[in-house]
Amino acid sequence: MNYKEKLNRVTTIILDVDGVLTDGRILITTQGEMYREMHTKDGYALKAAMDAGIKVAIISGGTNEGVRNRLKALGVFDIYLGAHHKMEAYQDLLDSYEIDPSTILYMGDDIPDIPVMKEVGVACCPQDAVSDVKAVSDYISHVNGGMGCVRDIVEQTLRVQGKWGEFSSAKND
For residue 146, what are the domain limits? 3-160
pLDDT of amino acid 167 = 57
Give me the CATH number covering residue 25. Answer: 3.40.50.1000
Per the structure, how many domains does the chain have? 1
pLDDT tens sequence across 17-39: 999 999 999 999 999 888 899 99
In a domain, 170, yes or no: no
Compute the chain's Rg from CA coordinates: 15
In a domain, 154, yes or no: yes
Please list, in sequence order, all residues whose beta carbon lies within 8 angstroms of the beta carbon of residue 19, skipping any fewer than 6 positions away: 108, 109, 110, 126, 128, 129, 145, 146
Give the mean model confidence (pLDDT) for residues 76-94.
97
% of residues, the chain, pLDDT over 70 = 95
Q: What is the pTM of this model?
A: 0.94
